[in-house]
Amino acid sequence: MPFFMTFILPVLVFLIAGALIGLGLAFLHEKFKAERDPRVDEVLKYLPGFNCGGCGSAGCDAFAGMLVKGGAKVAACNPCPSENKEKIGKILGLDVTKSRKTVAVVHCAGGKGCLDKEQNYNDCRSAAEAGGAKACGSACLGLSSCASVCKYHGIAVDKDTGAAVVNRAICISCGACVSACPQKIISRIPAGARVYVGCSNTLTGKEVRPVCPSGCIACGRCQKECPVQAITVFGNLAVIDYDKCGGCEKCVAVCPTKCMVLATKERCLL
């Protein structure tokens, strides 16, 4: 059989077939591709561009697309300034309620006293699924799962307390750490708040004392001392109503276990 027929022709057939397939795919792509809604780019201009994933989308571009399609709410983007949310609302014809700027806090003051016997876990989730590494069932497990998802290094585990601490100067309140914590002890409070509860344990004071020296014992002294009734002891745990709290810090002064934590820059810088 001639050399051309044996070797060259099959190669030519393969190349021609590949080229035809490529042209066909390109034609189908152009024919069926969805046109990008111009509002997506308009909305994108007012999003912070952090691509933090706190809204649940892959990034700001994907979130803008979801907003335009009606599959997401503007409020889901915590780092987005209120004035930008209002502009996005005008683009999409939505009534956007003004929201306060927030910051993440860890509701556990930690402390070596709450450590249980030494156990080896790779991350907080594996430790939580195994029953935890600390005597307090609501304690920060201190294995940095929250820190590993923070793109801005705004949270880390304090070596002295064994609990995670937020750097308020860096935190953009995206919510990534909130979602990553299996203990569900990270939340967001108003950025201007001066006090937060550094505990999540809802056991009685008698049960809390043996496992943590910094836990809320539901004594009620903070509630009695608050001049504006912003604190309520509910389910054996102090709860702050930030719509009422004026930041007088009297609750901090009377708390016997120091679980009422000052949310000052000095306390939260790592």
pLDDT value at position 144? 92
- For residue 164, tell me if it sits in a domain: yes
Is the pLDDT at 179 greater than 80? The verdict is: yes
> Who wins on pLDDT, 33 or 59?
59
Tell me the DSSP string of the chain: --HIIIIIHHHHHHHHHHHHHHHHHHHHHHHHPPPPPHHHHHHHTTS------TTSSSSHHHHHHHHHHTSS-GGG-TTS-HHHHHHHHHHHT--PPP---EEEEES----GGGB-S----SSHHHHHHTT-SBSSTTS---S-HHHHH-TT--EEE-TTTSSEEE-TTT----SHHHHH-TT--EEEEETT--EEE-----S-HHHHTTT-TTS-----HHHHH-TT--EEEETTEEEE-TTT-----HHHHH-TT--EEE--HHHH--
Least confident of 2-6, 10-14, 153-157, 260-264: 2-6
Lowest mean pLDDT among 118-127, 135-144, 210-219, 224-233: 118-127
What confidence tier does 25 reach under pLDDT thresholds 50, 70, 90? low
Residue 32 resides in a domain:
no
Q: What is the DSSP string of 62-82?
A: HHHHHHHHTSS-GGG-TTS-H
Question: What is the dihedral sign for C-alpha 244, 249, 253, 255?
Answer: positive
Q: Which residue range(s) make up the domain with 84?
A: 38-92
Q: Establish if 73 belongs to a structural domain.
A: yes
pLDDT at 30 exceeding the cut of 50? yes
Sequence-distant (6+) residues with CB within 8 A of 240 are 189, 193, 195, 196, 197, 230, 231
Asked which of 48, 71, 92 is the last residue of a domain, the reply is 92
- What pLDDT is attached to residue 29? 56
Domain membership of residue 82 (yes or no) is yes
Does residue 26 carry a pLDDT above 60? yes
Structural domain includes residue 158:
yes
Angle between helices 82-92 and 60-69 (to 10 degrees): 40
Q: Are residues 84 and 152 in the same domain?
A: no
Q: How many domains does the chain have?
A: 2
CATH of the domain at 190: 3.30.70.20
pLDDT band at 34 (very low <50, low <70, confident <90, very high): low
d(CA 89, CA 71): 14
Q: Could you tell me if residue 77 is inside a domain? A: yes
User: At 197, which amino acid appears?
Assistant: V
Q: Say what the pTM is.
A: 0.76
Contact 268, 168 (CB under 8 A): yes
Residue 14 placed within a domain: no
Higher pLDDT among residues 3 and 27, named by residue: 27
Percentage of the chain lying above the pLDDT 90 cut? 56
Per-residue pLDDT reduced to its tens digit, 97-153: 777 889 999 999 886 556 555 567 888 988 888 876 788 889 999 999 999 999 999
Identify whether 16 is part of a domain.
Answer: no
Confidence at residue 250, expressed as pLDDT on a 0 to 100 scale: 97
Q: Tell me the per-residue pLDDT of 76-97, one tens digit each, with 9 for 90 and over.
A: 898 898 899 999 999 999 888 7
Q: Are residues 86 and 186 in the same domain?
A: no
**Among all chains, which residue has been given the structure tokens 């912070």?**
48
Cα 156 to chain centroid distance, Å, stands at 13
Token couple for 90: 């005008």
